[in-house]
Amino acid sequence: RYFADNLKELEENELIVFKYSDENGNFTQKANPNGSMENIAGICNLERNCMGLMPHPERASEAILSPKGTTHGKLFFNSMVEFIKKRS
């Protein structure tokens, strides 16, 4: 099980950017494949210019890379690109 000794700091500074959830947006143990605290899947630094992510959407960005042949991971990257374009 992963443990963050600075969990309170992450929450107070709104540095938790992704959480594991089910298809309805519920944060459940079943939706959390690695058992991370508070279902945390991704965090960022205080400057918000660097992010760490536990899931690996790049592994499902092309059908040839995915064990199930899906490209769902590409949606993650495409949405990030669109977000950045809108902010620029």
pLDDT tens by residue, 6-59: 899 999 999 999 999 999 999 999 999 888 999 999 999 999 999 999 988 888
Q: In terms of domains, do 37 and 65 share one? A: no
Per-residue H/E/C for 50-77: CEEECCCHHHHCCCCCCCCCCCHHHHHH
Considering the entire predicted model, what is its pTM? Answer: 0.76
What does DSSP assign to residue 79? H
Q: In terms of domains, do 3 and 44 share one? A: yes
Domain extent, residue 67, equals 56-88
Q: In terms of domains, do 66 and 46 share one? A: no
